[in-house]
Chain A
Amino acid sequence: SQQGEEDPQALSIQEGENATMNCSYKTSINNLQWYRQNSGRGLVHLILIRSNEREKHSGRLRVTLDTSKKSSSLLITASRAADTASYFCATDAGQAGTALIFGKGTTLSVSS
């Protein structure tokens, strides 16, 4: 079953602007992860935030998690053309016999 839903489905911005993507999920989680997928490539792990964390940073990435609202956001600051990709959130229930469940993704286009 699909767990994460990203919003918006598509986002177009100019270089230097910030990009914010949101993810909502349905059931309890152990952690939530964000991945990037460039066109025609595999997914690359960006950041993991645990259920007891509220915010995490990695370079130009900032992720927040609100477990009461079952939502997360990914902020990319000072975007670059190279950030153009699809971004997916994925939830991990942390239970035996489960795997990451991915949302539908947000397609980000950054133009120079």
Chain B
Amino acid sequence: DTAVSQTPKYLVTQMGNDKSIKCEQNLGHDTMYWYKQDSKKFLKIMFSYNNKELIINETVPNRFSPKSPDKAHLNLHINSLELGDSAVYFCASSQAQGRGGYTFGSGTRLTVV
């Protein structure tokens, strides 16, 4: 069983489109995260939810909107995709903030053409 699963693994889309990335964890963790990894492998936190409540909302364009229907799921919706949105997006979860390591999904490689 995959602990943190993301779909899709690859996403190629045209500028201006709207797309979603889904994430699910079966670890019973309370906190979930979205990170963006750029072409230089730099990881930047985007959002975090704790038990369906948004607790971190970093400076990202309003075109990015996270949604957490329950504590096991955290989806990322992106409107009006731009070339600069091309990156690898990672979902992660942890038992609680400040405790223990994070478990990461395998990533979604988004390419905007």
* Contact A98-B103, Cβ < 8 Å, known A88-B43, A104-B40, A105-B41: no
Contact A33 B101 (CB under 8 A): yes
Partner pick for A100 among B102, B105, B106, CB 8 A cutoff = B102
Interface flags, A11-54, vs B, CB<8A=1, else 0: 00000000000000000001101010100111111001000000
- Residue ranges of A at the interface with B (Cβ–Cβ < 8 Å): 2, 30-31, 33, 35, 37, 40-45, 48, 86, 88, 92-102, 104-105
- The residues of A that contact B100 with a CB separation of less than 8 Å are 48
Tell me the nearest residue of chain B to A43, going by C-beta.
B104
Residues of chain B with a CB closer than 8 A to A102's CB: 35, 42-44
Residues of A within 8 A of B45 (CB): 99-101
In the assembled complex, B17 has its CB within 8 A of some CB on chain A: no
- Whether B86 sits at the interface, judged by CB under 8 Å, is no
- A30 nearest CB neighbor, chain B only: B98
Interface centre among A42, A86, A88, A104 (most CB of B within 10 A): A42
Chain B residues touching A, range: 20 to 34
Interface of B is mostly: strand
B56 cross-chain contacts in A, Cβ below 8 A: 97-99
Complex contacts, A33 vs chain B, CB 8 Å: 101-102
A88 to B55, CA, bound (A): 24
Alpha-carbon distance between A95 and B55 when the two chains are bound, in angstroms: 11
Do A45 and B55 contact each other (CB < 8 Å), given the known contacts A98-B97, A104-B42? no
- Min distance, Cβ B77 to any Cβ of chain A, angstroms: 20
Closest chain A CB from B30 CB (angstroms): 13
Q: How far is the CB of A90 from chain B (nearest CB, A)?
A: 8
CB within 8 Å for A42 and B105 given contacts A97-B56, A102-B43, A105-B41:
yes
Nearest residue (CB) in B for A107 is B41
Report the bound CA distance from A43 to B27 in whole Å: 16
Shortest distance from the beta carbon of B100 to any chain A beta carbon, whole Å: 7
B94-113 Cβ-contact flags toward A at 8 Å (1 or 0): 00011011111111000000
